[in-house]
Structure 1
Amino acid sequence: MTDSPLTTSPVHDDPEYAANLRRATLASSLGSALEYFDFALYGLSTALIFNVLFFPQGDPGMATVLAFATFGVGFLARPFGGLFFGVLGDRLGRKWVLVVTILLMGGASTAIGLLPTYEAIGFWAPVILVVLRLLQGFGAGAEQAGATVLMAEYAPVKRRGFFSALPFIGIQAGTLLAALVFSVIALLPEDQLLSWGWRVPFLASFALILLALFIRMRLRETPTFVELEKHDQIADRPIRDIFTHGLPGVIVGIGLRMAENGGSYMFQTLGLAFFVSVLGPSADKSLLTWGVTIGSLIGVFSVPFAGHLSDRFGRRTIYRAGAVFMLVYTFPAWWLLSLGNHAIAIAVIAIGIGFAVATMLGPQCAMLPEMFGNRHRYLGVAMAREISAVLAGGLAGVLGSYIISVSGGDWVLLATYMATLALITTASTFLVPETLRRDLTRTDDAIKVSRNEGGDGVYATTVSIKAVGL
């Protein structure tokens, strides 16, 4: 099989290609920023605001559990959104799906800022909150997968890890912005914070929607999808393709995401709730959010750097290093959080987000698209990302807050939970062949067939899963 021109290198000095690459980076980054701004903001609000405003206060501990359940509901909707929009992305193209998802996701987030509280409308307040959270999750279910696929298919082959990771600066920027905004509004007197202050950042997300929409409308379709259209290879039934050919890739992709996604949400939201349970009313909530802020700021640099390292040393090597780091870090981290020291807690959360999570996220940006064939890549990435988001991120808040409630804040149980996620991801890195510089115009999946033509990282020899480490 001869390599397509897309396997070697795009025309780097072509002005049209350079302009499209810039647009793709901006379009992906803004979508990622909006998604994670909303999700991080929702997560921070869950532990400190929604549990008070949208649920009866007879049992504060149960109100917190219920609030985290609404956080988890958004994750339940994500696989359905990924399935629905993933099929459209593989049949109609990447661009228009990303236009629709940004409107759906951002519109639901803005509407949350207009929602009446439990005191105003009673039972209907949490019901409407759940509906909006479902819509938010349904749109987000294809947003990040689309951004991942878009950049991987646009990026120069030899620097695909670095370029694919650039939009994921949007993840860190969105999380950073949410933490900064929340840190500021948390300084308000409690009555103002609970009456109107919390609404401001949700309403302000509307500006991000307009900017992202403007850029995405000017974006051209990716070169690899154009290649599919040119050769009349677009899948009529992407779902059938996934279940007949792509299922191993989806399963391994889920495993790869367990520590990255679950660890991220545990540090961002559960770490905050746990620390508050340790100190009680004396916990400085506005101060503690600086752990997320600093960790996200570190991630702005560490995510693309990890992607760059994966271009040099391989996706699996860097990914595995991040998973092992989280595994080693887990028990000391939760023990340190249990000490109830604000400065130590800030450092623990910052390191967890900025280094442990970011080291896995960097290579993941290119690795997941490289694992799937061109005919069902969008759907494959969406399924791997969003099913894992339910199993890892969605359960983290609900199960973790339940553990805190019934165990009286036992840090060992929380650490064991995170260590389990890290072990699953570490094991999963042995189940996937190296995907570095894989030809994205190929229609077969890397999990079954890989190619190896020597030291340049381009593949040519068929291998089985046994041959890569089992």
Structure 2
Amino acid sequence: MTQSTTALHEPSGQGENSPSGKSYHASPKDLRRIQFSSFLGTAIEYYDFILYATAAAIVFNRVFFIGLDDSVALILSFATLAAGYVARPLGGLIFGHLGDRLGRKTILVVTVLIMGIASTLIGLLPTAYVIGAWAPILLVTLRVVQGIAVGGEWGGAMLLAFESAPKKSRGFAAAFAYMGAPAGTIIGTLALSGFSLLPEEQFLSWGWRVPFIFSAVLMLLGIFIRMKVSESEVFQELAKKPAPKKVPVAELVVNHPTKLLRAIGGGLSGQMAQGLMGAWAISYAVQQAVLQQSDVLNMKALGGVFTIVFIVIASRLSDRLGRRRVLIWGNIVGIVLAFPVMWLLEMGSAMAFMVAIILGLSLVQGFTAGPYGAYAGELFPTHVRYSGASIGYQMAAVLGAGFTPMMATALAAAGGGSLHLVAILWMSFTAISLISLVLSQDVSKREIHELS
């Protein structure tokens, strides 16, 4: 199948076609292929990105930031994690612009290539014991490259499925990109967990490197899969028209500033859940010597399975009830659960930690992030949709997850053992998302060509 030919499915219901009578969604067979590509490619990208987050919590403070107080080393390790998040909006801007001008498929091949190379190089990077200060400098550089790559990945993967799906299943189709994130988390976490069973000296010497180097294999797989899918029909129709004079990001700022702010605000809560429970809570449990390192990682991986389940439920519900309604209730649940989840972490038992992960990561993230892809995609018209959805999502990632582990580490120390300040931080960010969603419109029942 070539890039320029997308099999069209003639819908049975009225209103599924554009004004010209042409269907804008792919055939069921092609849609399944696009959804699988969206899921697998994002899983590979997030395998690399979240693998770094997990390693930052349990490894990098001991091999790249040596000779420092444990808390200082951990904060610096999380600072390199934040560097990747800060770079993500830049990736969203660069690849969003290119995706709106060149197409979704082309950019998705490039982002997998960049991420795979950067992650493999991290696995080969000498430690501070060997090259001194150059080790953390190179680590941060490669993390920034990772951030740029993942900044362009999610928007393209989500939109390729979103724009190829019929109206009645856009939410579920768009969610495949989000499902890829916990799937990648599961694979990366289990890989690191397996090697963490090695004697500590071997794990810190070479064991942690193997999952990063394996990225090269996943990169080749991702490129192969993505070369097999077609560009979305709605973008192909747009590409036949003269390119707008304004660059997409300029048009966003001038003509769609409120929608961009809603995309950022609506995504904060899902990112906050990831930053707190997907990175900081792992470090908290290990640093408190409450649980074994491998046990914590295995529980996080199990939490990823539940996250996928909740994403499926939430996205399906969003196709029936509307994105806005499902996201609002997800945010309300997040606010209600903030203190109980922190209390569970304070208990220090394996069972309490597992319940905290399922509630705080899986349930809250599933319902605050699962329908978000379609929500963000429906905010913008086609010619700026890649830029708008990518920049909105990635800015939410920076604000909601990028600095969260550092902030939570500092607040936990300030609380003298109590995590009530962390709970308040979580509730505050979730409240911003809730307000953004309350002020939004639900347009999930409109056709793709009617979104403006």
Range of TM-score over shorter length: over 0.9
1:6/1:183 CA distance change after superposition, 3 Å? farther
Provide the residue aligned with 1:48 in structure 2: 58
Residues 6 and 157, structure 1, Cα contact 8 Å, conserved in 2 = no
1:218/1:122 CA distance change after superposition, 3 Å? same
1:171 aligned residue (157, 164, 181): 181
Provide the residue aligned with 1:466 in structure 2: none
* Deviations, residues 190-234 of structure 1 (Å, cap 9, x unaligned): 011101110111111222211110121222211111121234465
Provide the residue aligned with 2:103 in structure 1: 93
1:185 aligned residue (195, 204, 207): 195
- Cα offset, 1:284, TM superposition: 1.2
Provide the residue aligned with 2:268 in structure 1: 258
Provide the residue aligned with 1:389 in structure 2: 397
Residues 174 and 374, structure 2, Cα contact 8 Å, conserved in 1 = yes
Aligned length: 438
Residues 79 and 141, structure 1, Cα contact 8 Å, conserved in 2 = yes
1:199 aligned residue (206, 209, 216): 209
CA distance in 2, matches of 1:6, 1:215: 29
Q: Secondary structure at the match of 1:220?
A: coil
Residues 49 and 150, structure 2, Cα contact 8 Å, conserved in 1 = no
CA distance in 1, matches of 2:55, 2:230: 37
1:283 aligned residue (270, 279, 291): 291
Residues 90 and 235, structure 1, Cα contact 8 Å, conserved in 2 = no
- Cα offset, 1:262, TM superposition: 1.3
1:3/1:238 CA distance change after superposition, 3 Å? farther
CA distance in 2, matches of 1:289, 1:410: 23
1:224 aligned residue (225, 228, 234): 234
- Please say if 1:74 is aligned against 2:78: no
CA distance in 2, matches of 1:73, 1:33: 21
Q: Secondary structure at the match of 2:448?
A: coil
* Deviations, residues 167-197 of structure 1 (Å, cap 9, x unaligned): 3221121111122222212211101110111
Provide the residue aligned with 1:318 in structure 2: 326
- Cα offset, 1:19, TM superposition: 3.8
CA distance in 2, matches of 1:358, 1:233: 37
Please list every run of 5 or more consecutive structure 2 residues that lacks an aligned counterpart in the other structure. Answer: 1-13
- Cα offset, 1:334, TM superposition: 0.3
Residues 43 and 269, structure 1, Cα contact 8 Å, conserved in 2 = yes
Provide the residue aligned with 2:17 in structure 1: 5
CA distance in 1, matches of 2:245, 2:27: 26
The one-letter code of the counterpart of 2:312 is P
The one-letter code of the counterpart of 2:205 is S
Percent identity between the two aligned chains: 36
- Please say if 1:162 is aligned against 2:189: no
1:227/1:9 CA distance change after superposition, 3 Å? closer
Provide the residue aligned with 2:365 in structure 1: 357
TM-score of the two chains, using structure 1 as the length reference = 0.89
2:126 aligned residue (116, 132, 136): 116
2:307 aligned residue (299, 309, 321): 299
- Cα offset, 1:58, TM superposition: 2.8
Provide the residue aligned with 1:39 in structure 2: 49
The one-letter code of the counterpart of 2:98 is L
CA distance in 2, matches of 1:9, 1:269: 46
Residues 104 and 160, structure 2, Cα contact 8 Å, conserved in 1 = yes
Q: Secondary structure at the match of 1:371?
A: coil
Provide the residue aligned with 1:404 in structure 2: 412
Residues 276 and 404, structure 2, Cα contact 8 Å, conserved in 1 = yes
The one-letter code of the counterpart of 1:343 is M
CA distance in 1, matches of 2:29, 2:365: 31
CA distance in 2, matches of 1:155, 1:224: 11
1:11/1:139 CA distance change after superposition, 3 Å? closer
Q: Secondary structure at the match of 1:289?
A: helix
The one-letter code of the counterpart of 1:142 is G
- Please say if 1:417 is aligned against 2:396: no
CA distance in 1, matches of 2:202, 2:263: 44
CA distance in 2, matches of 1:231, 1:5: 19
* Deviations, residues 309-342 of structure 1 (Å, cap 9, x unaligned): 0111111111111111111001011011011112
- Cα offset, 1:134, TM superposition: 0.5
- Cα offset, 1:3, TM superposition: 5.9
Superposition map of 1:449-460 within 5 A: none
Please list every run of 5 or more consecutive structure 1 residues that lacks an aligned counterpart in the other structure. Answer: 445-470
CA distance in 2, matches of 1:153, 1:431: 25
Provide the residue aligned with 1:145 in structure 2: 155
The one-letter code of the counterpart of 1:429 is L
CA distance in 2, matches of 1:39, 1:121: 24
Provide the residue aligned with 2:258 in structure 1: 248
CA distance in 2, matches of 1:346, 1:289: 11
Residues 338 and 426, structure 2, Cα contact 8 Å, conserved in 1 = yes
Q: Secondary structure at the match of 2:438?
A: coil
Provide the residue aligned with 1:461 in structure 2: none
1:385/1:181 CA distance change after superposition, 3 Å? same
Provide the residue aligned with 1:102 in structure 2: 112
* Deviations, residues 387-443 of structure 1 (Å, cap 9, x unaligned): 111111101122122223444443011111111111111111112100213232246
CA distance in 2, matches of 1:270, 1:178: 16
CA distance in 2, matches of 1:88, 1:382: 12
- Alpha-carbon RMSD across the aligned residues, in angstroms, is 2.0
1:106/1:408 CA distance change after superposition, 3 Å? farther
Provide the residue aligned with 2:38 in structure 1: 28
Provide the residue aligned with 2:137 in structure 1: 127
- Cα offset, 1:9, TM superposition: 9.5
Provide the residue aligned with 2:72 in structure 1: 62
Residues 91 and 236, structure 1, Cα contact 8 Å, conserved in 2 = no
